[in-house]
Structure 1
Amino acid sequence: MDQELSVIEEQEAIKILSEKQESHFLDFKSKDLSGKGLQKIVTAFANADGGELYIGIIDEKESVPELIERWEGFKKLEQFNQLIQNIYEEIKPVPQLEIEFMEIEGYECRGIVLKVTVYKSANIHYTSADKVFIRKSAQTLELKGKQEILNLKLSKGLISYEDQLIGNYSVDELLESEELNSFLKSYSPRTNPEEYLKKQRLVRKSGAEILPTIASVLLYADLPSAILPRKCAIKITRYNTNEDIPSREHLEEQITVEGNVLSQINTTLLNIKRIIDSLKVLDETKLVGANYPVEAIQEIIVNAVIHRDYNISDDIHVLIFNNRIEVRSPGNLPGYITPDNILEERFSRNPTVVRLLNKYPDPPNKDIGEGLNTAFQKMQEMRLKPPQIFVEQNKVIVVLPHESLAAPEEAVLEYLEANNEINNRTARKLCGIHSENSMKAVFIRLRDRGLIEMVPGKLGPATTWRKVER
């Protein structure tokens, strides 16, 4: 194993010691950390949302004469070998991680600290004692009992709640549902309801009975909320305020949308459109109608419905404020998905719902996997700030802010503050402008104001622009 040592400046070390606080994503441990203790923390991060562990830093609760003295690592790299072996040889399966050895320039006497960056995993990781840990806030907690581990598997998407059987709803009731029979009228090839349910694995044998799956209820039962043991509706709430935390006096309207997933999506979108059509937002000096891109709202609602964790008994909440729309979906992001990679990676918690919803004549998830990308694109085209994605208290929160992007000229100048030059293609993507000529006109306006100039020697398609140094 390659062991490279990074030498950092004193200020960077001080920043680590003073500004970083132990949290859901960060832990500090002394060099006396045992192999078993290390396994607990690493598996807990991998089983939750990932995180960073520094080994060789004294707990902030312990009193030291100077802050820098909290940095107390090993003198030699080889002294970490046993700890590293505990990760790679004892944890099953081995988590994805990176290790970095760090030493402070001029403070070699303080020793070497090991930084372990653990990535969120789609697997469940076990310690050598066959135990499962998870990170919650700044704590490393053991999951005890089969149900807790089962819930973790469901939240990660390792097993799907949608495939579980349900006993209080008969196959005969499902066969008579209006939604299933209406759907099959347009389904090709022509199939009777019983044959369709069997082929799609929406009913299975359990002992002497044939029972429907939760996915079949979500898709085709006329009122899933009355059948499933967990909440599965959508609540739309209108608050007449811009406040981050609204009070009851701000509440203007609340609607509960029930029904199968397609009905929920369609009814929710109709209600959101009705509400935002009546919204007024402040534009410079006057009130104007709120102008959200319908496609962005649709993609985020569809994404929430098809990817939410149905094992959690909670509804999807759509909160409509004067200056934003928030969509709160139950459950963490599945598998290895994080807010940082959500636009590039794909992982479906409810693949049966996703696949069969796509079989409708005009499916709401027509471009599977492109939902959030479309939302970002449409917000940019309408010159609004991009959606914001958070994971908070077992919920995925997507916020559509009604805030204008900077003008194209401002966006170009801001880009050139951090970069030496910019071309037409990059600028169009940055500004949400499709036409090369329209983007060229922006460059010309900035040139005429003496703010930018063409980079010499780059012509035609290779043309780039740079800031004029004053």
Structure 2
Amino acid sequence: METARITGAAVAQLGRLHEGPFFDRKSIRIAPGKLTRTASAFANTDGGDLIIGIEDDGSWSGAPDMEALNGHLQALEALFPYGTECMYTFLQNTDDSTYGLLVTVSKAREIKEASDGKAYVRRGAQSLPVSDLAHLKMQKGITSLETATLNYAYQDLVVSPVAVDFAKSVVPTTEPEPWLRKQSLIVNDLPTVAGTLLFHEEPQIHLPKSSLKLYRYTTSDTEGSRDHLAYDPISIDGCIYDQVKAAVTETVRQVETIPTLDASGLKAIKYPDETVHEIITNALIHRDYSVNDDVHVRVFDNRVEVQSPGSLPANITASNILDERFSRNPVIVRLLNKFPDAPNKDVGEGLNTAFEAMRKLDLREPEIRDTGTSVIVVIWHETLASPESRIVDYLRKNKTINNSQARALLNRPEAERTIRRYFEALITAGEIERVPQSSGRGAKYRLVSAEPTD
């Protein structure tokens, strides 16, 4: 186990840290059982750091030796028996050689219960017991609404054109009903949520908050307002398969009406189709259908936001989402993949495909945010949609730019000739000019509207 030596100044800094959703500190005198409440809360929420050896007033209260922390370690290891969701670091104060313990807890895949048998969650600087364990399981994706049944006649699902066409093309040896029953999409003569979303012609009749809402805001503001709406929001309904296709087509159409700067002037924005497709597909198939909200796609002048109800499930975070795999709605994911020209043909690789497509065109990578109640993926355009516009954006904040600065800005350390072409295109477009009396390798550039530079 790693030991980190920390100075008195570092100890004082730790003592000044404010407790919150991702940080807590405890006295060395805390009972090991109580310690597991905080660890449970971090694991069941979004993870966090816990330091043992700092009093409530921020003063240091280290243990005389490492062995004095054995009880705390044993209690925590009972909570995290395999060591995959919790890391420990001894902290040795160089001023008095006493020891504290840094416990780094990751967001856990399963629900973690403290030694008192209760599960806790982190709310602000508090670790609170969970009153509704079923709701927490739904939030973490351990259980899913997709297996729940809906109170309408299963025959409506059996005779749906979606189910009939699917049976003809995918399972031609059987009628829809026996296949739907075999896949547990009809249970006790009632259709399930997954069956309804996949095969009902209009699932929104029975699941009102399963639509996709599309908005066009004529602004780049952080939030759109009613005043900036270009028109009333568009509601895209139907089964998931049809929703994906309609939503992608309409989103691309809306985006391509927005002009952006090109070296030769203004032109329509063009995203890789797979980026929009994969992000919208992910929003629909991995959303939490127990949350009473629709998927929202907002097209702004400088970005597209795709908001999916429910936080990231299990151990998935915004930082590890491209590497980890977890499906909140495995039935929907599996069966949608059986459709002809399935929208999720590369199961588990959707977001990776979206990110890679943006990189190939030198576009800014999408941004993923977990708000706790929804997941928002932001696809940027305009200002950062091309190397030329990045240079212009840089010059809006800085007086001048040279070739080496532009190479660093665009992460192209060896592309000196390419950078010169960008400068030449921007000069032709009337956006920048060379700073007088600068030339060759010392050439600098500025916006045309910039003040004269000595």
Contact 1:43–1:95 (8 Å) recurs in 2: no
More displaced, 401-410 or 386-395?
Answer: 401-410
- Is 2:320 aligned against 1:341? yes
Distance 1:87 1:272 in 2: 48
Letter in 2 for 1:85: Q
Q: From the superposition, tell whether residues 414 and 108 of structure 1 become closer, same or farther in structure 2 (CA, over 3 Å).
A: farther
After superposition, the CA RMSD in angstroms is 3.0
Q: From the superposition, tell whether residues 132 and 249 of structure 1 become closer, same or farther in structure 2 (CA, over 3 Å).
A: same
Letter in 2 for 1:100: T
- Is 2:216 aligned against 1:238? yes
Alignment map for 1:17-56 (pairs within 5 Å): 17-18=15-16, 20-56=17-53
Distance 1:227 1:122 in 2: 31
Q: Please list the CA deviations of residues 369-413 of structure 1 after superposition, one character each: whole Å capped at 9, or x if unmatched.
A: 111111111111222110111111311111111114658986995
Distance 1:17 1:442 in 2: 50
Distance 2:63 2:407 in 1: 47
Distance 2:264 2:356 in 1: 28
**Displacement after TM superposition at 1:160 (Å):** 2.4
Q: From the superposition, tell whether residues 28 and 165 of structure 1 become closer, same or farther in structure 2 (CA, over 3 Å).
A: same
**Displacement after TM superposition at 1:28 (Å):** 1.9
Letter in 2 for 1:153: K
Q: Which runs of 5+ in 2 are unaligned?
A: 391-402, 422-439, 443-454
1:184 aligned partner: 167
- Is 2:205 aligned against 1:226? yes
Alignment map for 1:51-70 (pairs within 5 Å): 51-59=48-56, 62=57, 70=59
- Is 2:110 aligned against 1:126? no
Distance 1:10 1:371 in 2: 48
Identity percentage of aligned residues: 37
Q: Please list the CA deviations of residues 65-88 of structure 1 after superposition, one character each: whole Å capped at 9, or x if unmatched.
A: xxxx63332222222111112222
1:265 aligned partner: 244
Letter in 2 for 1:26: F
Distance 1:10 1:284 in 2: 56
1:363 aligned partner: 342
SS in 1 for 2:74: helix
Distance 1:27 1:262 in 2: 45
Contact 1:135–1:141 (8 Å) recurs in 2: yes
1:72 aligned partner: 61
Letter in 2 for 1:161: L
Q: TM-score, normalization: structure 1? A: 0.79
**Displacement after TM superposition at 1:133 (Å):** 0.7
**Displacement after TM superposition at 1:36 (Å):** 2.8
Letter in 2 for 1:101: F
SS in 2 for 1:41: helix
Distance 2:196 2:142 in 1: 21
SS in 1 for 2:90: strand
Distance 2:315 2:335 in 1: 24
1:250 aligned partner: 228
2:309 aligned partner: 330
**Displacement after TM superposition at 1:239 (Å):** 1.0
Q: From the superposition, tell whether residues 394 and 288 of structure 1 become closer, same or farther in structure 2 (CA, over 3 Å).
A: same
Q: TM-score, normalization: structure 2? A: 0.82
1:302 aligned partner: 281
Count of residue pairs brought into register by the alignment: 408
Distance 1:311 1:376 in 2: 28
Letter in 2 for 1:174: L
- 1:386 aligned to which of 351, 360, 365: 365
**Displacement after TM superposition at 1:37 (Å):** 2.1
**Displacement after TM superposition at 1:272 (Å):** 0.7
Letter in 2 for 1:35: P
- Is 2:150 aligned against 1:152? no
Letter in 2 for 1:54: I
2:72 aligned partner: 83
Q: Please list the CA deviations of residues 430-454 of structure 1 after superposition, one character each: whole Å capped at 9, or x if unmatched.
A: 76xxxxxx97986999xxx889xxx
- 2:187 aligned to which of 204, 211, 222: 204
SS in 1 for 2:255: helix
Letter in 1 for 2:60: W
1:108 aligned partner: 96
More displaced, 7-16 or 305-314?
Answer: 7-16
Letter in 1 for 2:141: G
Distance 1:405 1:134 in 2: 43
Distance 2:35 2:295 in 1: 37
SS in 1 for 2:170: coil
Distance 1:10 1:386 in 2: 41
SS in 1 for 2:365: coil
Letter in 1 for 2:108: S
1:136 aligned partner: 123
Contact 2:80–2:86 (8 Å) recurs in 1: no
**Displacement after TM superposition at 1:92 (Å):** 8.2
Q: From the superposition, tell whether residues 120 and 323 of structure 1 become closer, same or farther in structure 2 (CA, over 3 Å).
A: same
Q: From the superposition, tell whether residues 346 and 255 of structure 1 become closer, same or farther in structure 2 (CA, over 3 Å).
A: same
Q: From the superposition, tell whether residues 104 and 160 of structure 1 become closer, same or farther in structure 2 (CA, over 3 Å).
A: same
Distance 1:26 1:293 in 2: 40
Distance 2:330 2:152 in 1: 22
Q: Please list the CA deviations of residues 30-85 of structure 1 after superposition, one character each: whole Å capped at 9, or x if unmatched.
A: 223222321111011111121111112233xx3xxxxxx63332222222111112
**Displacement after TM superposition at 1:225 (Å):** 1.6
Q: Which runs of 5+ in 1 are unaligned?
A: 63-68, 416-426, 432-437, 452-470
More displaced, 292-301 or 21-30?
Answer: 21-30
Distance 1:311 1:252 in 2: 31
